[in-house]
Amino acid sequence: MDNNAIQVGVGPVGFAELSAVARRGYGVQLAPDAVDAINHGREIVERLAASETPVYGISTGFGALATRHIPTEMRAQLQKSLVRSHAAGSGTEVEREVVRGLMLLRLSTLATGHTGIRLETAELMAAMLSAGLTPVVHEYGSLGCSGDLAPLSHCALALIGEGWVRDSEGTRLPAARALAAAALAPVELGPKEGLALINGTDGMLAMLVMALTDLDLLLRTADIAAAMSVEGQLGTDRVFAAELQSLRPHPGQADSAANLVALLADSGVVASHRGPDCHRVQDAYSLRCSPQVHGAARDTLTHCRLVASRELESAVDNPVVLGTPGGEGRVESNGNFHGAPVAYVLDFAAIVAADVASISERRTDRFLDKARNHGLPPFLADDPGVDSGHMIAQYTQAAVVSELKRLAAPASVDSIPSSAMQEDHVSMGWSAARKLRRSVDGLTRVLAIELLTAARALDLRAPLQPSPATGAVVRLLRESGIEGPGPDRHLSPEIEMCVELVRSGAVLAAVEDTIGELQ
């Protein structure tokens, strides 16, 4: 097997495997157990297709048109018509990583043998992933029930040599030309294959898995930012003691507090005001309650990961092929395509992103107010009045946080009937996933601005020295070209540099290289 390829078998695809294929361009190969399962499922479909008894998805129409029996000579056209008509997306193109992720997850379901796909069709999907051919999928078209129909249909359209794809270099090409250039041939869909390719929650699930991966990094980075803010604002680390946290035994809270203790260890800034001369009784909530908020976020995402893991183990299609090798087998209709389980946690995760960003913005704002920043210049400006310092960086944070609050309004409570009232309750999970991606990006930006501001404040506390962990972050920023305190300069490029340091994991790596792995 190619070292840069993963095998897709009957078992579930993992978070790391999805990231490898979706984000790092790994190829895909079908495992031997998947080949056996696919061939067995196909045998059942072909036997039922030869029967005179109508079977939904094989010899009937679809959705509200399921009552029409389709004669044998029209079934190839039936599958082609299904894919063409359902590839009705509109709007901007969906990101390459999302399309690759949803293709991988659809292939994973095909590999279970419960969809009745032909082996050659599944192999073509794997070959497209390996060749870096990415169908053009559009923003709008999925209601998150009957799966992500329109997005998956655009992928299926490419398999039959129609529609558009982007090649490995990002060039937009007609699918037929791109397939030919990769020495691949389009398929002629057989009975059941159209439905098998388009009836799943794969798009919303792929976006959930990638968002959870990103949020895991961002929550540890949020602890880093909080520690720098506590330190820079002369806050106390005593409130993070395990003895106090254990009185409220939420695991996420304990982990976040332990991180803060480790991050602030050996801080000269903290030590400078730890003695009897310090008269501050309590820090503001945004400092003191960081573990409670970050911890609740962690525990919520633990539930989200549980749901995502269960969904990764699922075979979502309608109808599904059932039966053991050697048995007769059958095809059964079901409702497993409904996206509610995924939609709910997509919305939960957007709430998490909004609230963690909200407390981050409040910590940042305290640095800029001379009445609350304990001796630092207003707005951390070099010459207040002439210079504005980080005044407008906080405006940018506030604008993003306000947007995140709007994005936290759940999509999953909405439903709009479709398909002549046959599909009369839908999940809107795709919409929940799309807004979560924007939420993750927004949280990244908010944390970057807190880090930028806290680093400037820590420099202004000199000659007091920050902790080894927070000092490593300050050095990373300075070595990356983000200057320390001084007269006003063009701030936007520095914000973007810090955003990339957060997104790439460089900030987290700088800390963990210094004090070891965070919780």
Beta strand 320-322 pairing with 330-332: antiparallel
User: Choosing from 56, 140, 285, 395, which is the catalytic residue?
Assistant: 56
User: Which residue has 């059964």 as its token pair?
Assistant: 332
Q: What are phi and psi of 452, to 5 degrees?
A: -60, -45
Rg of the chain's alpha carbons, rounded to an integer? 27
**Cα–Cα nearest to 52, from 42, 44, 60, 43:** 60
Q: Which amino acid is at 121?
A: T
DSSP-derived secondary structure for 227-283: HHHHHHTT--SGGG-HHHHTTS--HHHHHHHHHHHHHHTT-HHHHHT-STT------
Does the bond joining 463 to the residue before it have cis omega, within 30 degrees of 0?
Answer: yes
**Cα–Cα nearest to 513, from 459, 464, 460, 475:** 475
- What lies within 8 Å, CB to CB, of 79 at 6+ separation is 189, 190, 191, 192, 193, 194
**Cα–Cα nearest to 493, from 501, 379, 83:** 501
User: Which residue has 């000579």 as its token pair?
Assistant: 73
DSSP bridge partners of 268: none
Question: Using CA atoms, how far apart are residues 417 and 240, in angstroms rounded to an integer?
Answer: 50
Is 56 part of the annotated catalytic residue set? yes
Provide the 10 A C-beta neighbour count for residue 145. 25
Return the active site residues. 56
